[in-house]
Structure formats: structure tokens, C-alpha cells
Amino acid sequence: MIARRRQVALALTVVLAAGAACQAQHRRSTAGTGRPAPAAARGFTLVASGDVLPHSPIIDRARFDGGGNAYDFRPMLAGIKPVVSRADLALCHMETVYGANGDYTGYPDFKSPPEVAQGLAATGYDGCSTASNHSLDDGAQGIRRTLDALDAVGVRHAGSARTEAEAHTVTMLRAGPAKVAHLAYTVDTNGKPLPAGRPWAVNLMNENVIVADARAARRAGADVVVVSLHWGTEWQDAPDQQQLTLARQLTEARTGGRPDIDLILGTHTHVPQAYEKVNGTWVIYGMGDQIAGEMTNNDGAKDPRGNESTLGRFTFTPPAKPGGRWEVAKAEFIPQLFDVDAGRVVNLNQAIRQGAEVKAVRDAIRDVVLSRGAAKDGLVMGE
């Protein structure tokens, strides 16, 4: 395992350099033309990634990368920046809340440095879901600090709120020519009660509420409605019955024959789970942890799956006629690994191409992702 991690870290340097060069070439190819890139005219691409979960070693690593006097999360995410920054819309899941003035903690009650938000923005993320079982780790003040920090760097958010008005406002983002509504909910808050007088502080998962919110988002002008769900059974590769049932119910919901929800993004389980097309709508049951410290599973054993994840990428095309559905023309997954020794997110396909011995990890993630037959519906592994 140590030898493999060293190979990943070595390959990462090459991968990052190659990715930066490729990104620069992409920008050169579309600069100075006076018109949008062809992809924008056809529709838009959306990428989404899993849980950002800064355990204490992650916080320590960010301080090291910041020279010992600051916290810098940009290097951790540099390996996936070429994929994220090219998308028309990129969404993450910010699982923890932020602390202040050096009061930062890991598990079990997380308070992360607000510089995480700067790292997410620099990587190219446009928005994050913020409803999770850790949303109330520091009460209402933790939510406020988190959303203030995301606002300060221009990263939108959905799932938690500072005011009742904010809780009832649809998070609407622009993706090429489309308006995308982002909604987010969590199955629980680790038993922590909602703050007194603030029952709206965190969105709790409820089928009827989610459908009603999706319909409200559509009335507000959303072309595409994306729902992030913090759900599932931790350390379980297969989606549990609650996930399967709710996915079916949500994708069945329609107004005037048009689905109310266009994409479901799952987080929370710590491990990658399957992608599946349910009632014509793509569902990612679980993307896994994009950033996390070395993880211990429910049996008390170190489990490398807790540092494995996927990034979903969906290419949407506009409807044939006004009022129709924006369809997913291409669905992809990109397998990732958080190298805990190097403190870096690794795009596994890029790493393999550069000679890292991580094919077995990549293939194991692929097998889980495709375990519910998504390949027959066109899901492919991307670069």
C-alpha cells in the first residue's frame, strides 16, 4: 500500500503538469473567436463531485501547503481542476461547517478552515450542497460562517440557510444557455436538533417537500432541476432500500408530462456507489469522499474505499421545442482517489496514463459504478 501511494504521488506531479497544459490549450482554442465555444451552443456540461470532509490531517496538510501560517486547499484539488474548470457548471458537496480564528476541528464535530471555500472556487466549482449530517456541528453560527465564506468567493450554496427568506429562495445557477436550480437535503443531522426558532436552517429529506420545491424551482424559471441528497448507509457499496425507494418516487414525479427532477446527486456513504437511470432520470446513489483523511469503517478497520470517489459529468442538450425537457445526451463518470500520503486528489485515469499502479483501484470503482446496469443506458468512463 505504501509503495502504491508513492507511485501515485510521483505520477501526480506529471498529471498536474499535463492537466495544466491541456487546460491552457483548451482556453487558447476558444479565445479570441468572438463567439461561444460550440459546446455552449449545443447545451451545457455539468460536473458534480462527492463529500469534502476535512479531518484533522487534512487541516494539517492545508496548513503545510499554506507555508505554516495559512491554510491552502488549492493544491489538494489541483489534480481535478482541468475537469472541473472546463464544465459549464460544477457542483461540490461541502459536508462540514467552518470555524473561525484558528478554532478548527475534525471528527466528530467538524469546524473546517474557511479557506476551504477559496480552494473550491479556485478549482472552478460554481456551487455546493451544504445539507449534511454535520450541518449542525456548530449550530446556527457554523452555518452562517460557512455560507458567508462561500458567498465571499462567489460559490453558490443550497441546503442550509442563515435566514428564513434565504431558506425559501431557489438557488439558480447559469449553465451555458440554461438556468439550473440546485436543491439539497440531508437524511439527518446526527441527532442534533434544529436551532431554536430556525426550523428552516437545514433542509431535511422528505419526498413531498422535495417534489414541491422542484416544482417551485420550475415555476421560477429553471430549465433543469438538480437535487443533491445526503443519504444512504455508510460503508455500503449498494444503495439501501430508502435510496432505491426515494429515487423511484422522485423520478416518477411529473408536471404536465415533464419530470420535475432532472438529476439526482448522492453523497454521505463514504464509498462510491452505483449510477443508474431511473424512470429516464440519472441518479448517482453515492459519489464517495473527494477529500477525507484516512478512514476507519464500521468494523474499526482502515478502509481505503473511504478515499475513493467519482466525479459525474453530464452533457445536457436543449429541448426540441419550448417547454420540453433538457435531455442528458452523454453521461460519464471519472474515478478519483484522495492520496492521503500526498494530500492530493488524483484523477485515476490520468494517473494510469502517466504510469501509476492504480488500475486495480480504478477498476474496482468502475465495477461498483456500473453494478446496476448503467452501461446499457450509455454511461461511460471519462477522462
Q: Which residue has the cell 457548471?
A: 89
For the domain made up of 2-381, give the CATH fold: Purple Acid Phosphatase; chain A, domain 2 (3.60.21)
**The predicted structure's pLDDT at residue 42:** 75
Q: Give the pLDDT score at 6.
A: 35
CB 337 within 8 A of CB 294: no
What is the CA 180 to chain-centroid distance, rounded?
A: 15
Q: List all residues 6 or more positions away from 171 whose beta carbon is below 8 Å from its beta carbon.
A: 127, 156, 157, 158, 181, 182, 183
Per-residue pLDDT, 29: 33
Cβ atoms within 10 A of the Cβ of 366, count? 18
Q: Give the pLDDT score at 13.
A: 37
How far, CA to CA in Å, does 318 sit from each of 26, 44, 177, 275? Answer: 24, 9, 9, 23
Tell me, what's the pLDDT at 23? Answer: 40
DSSP codes of every residue in 179-235: EEEEEEEES--TTPPPPTT-TTSBPBP-HHHHHHHHHHHHHTT-SEEEEEEE-S-TT
Burial tier of 219 (Cβ tally within 10 Å: 0-12, 13-18, 19+):
exposed
Residue 7: per-residue pLDDT:
38
- CA-CA distance, 91 to 257, in Å (whole number)? 28
Backbone angles phi, psi at 11, to 5 degrees: -65, -30
State pTM to two decimals. 0.90
CA–CA gap between residue 216 and residue 169 (Å, rounded): 10
Query: For position 31, what pLDDT does the model report?
Result: 34
Contact (Cβ atoms closer than 8 angstroms) between residue 250 and residue 207 = yes
Q: Where are the alpha helices (DSSP H) in the chain?
A: 2-30, 38-42, 56-65, 74-77, 81-86, 115-123, 139-152, 164-167, 207-219, 241-252, 348-353, 359-369
Mean pLDDT by 10 residues, the chain (383 residues): 38 39 36 38 90 98 98 98 98 98 97 98 98 98 98 98 98 97 98 98 98 98 98 98 98 97 98 98 98 97 98 96 94 98 97 96 98 98 95
Give CA–CA dist 258/54, Å, rounded: 39
Please name the residues in contact with 314: beta carbons below 8 A apart, sequence gap of 6 or more. 45, 46, 47, 263, 282, 328, 330, 331, 332
What 3-state DSSP class applies to 54?
coil
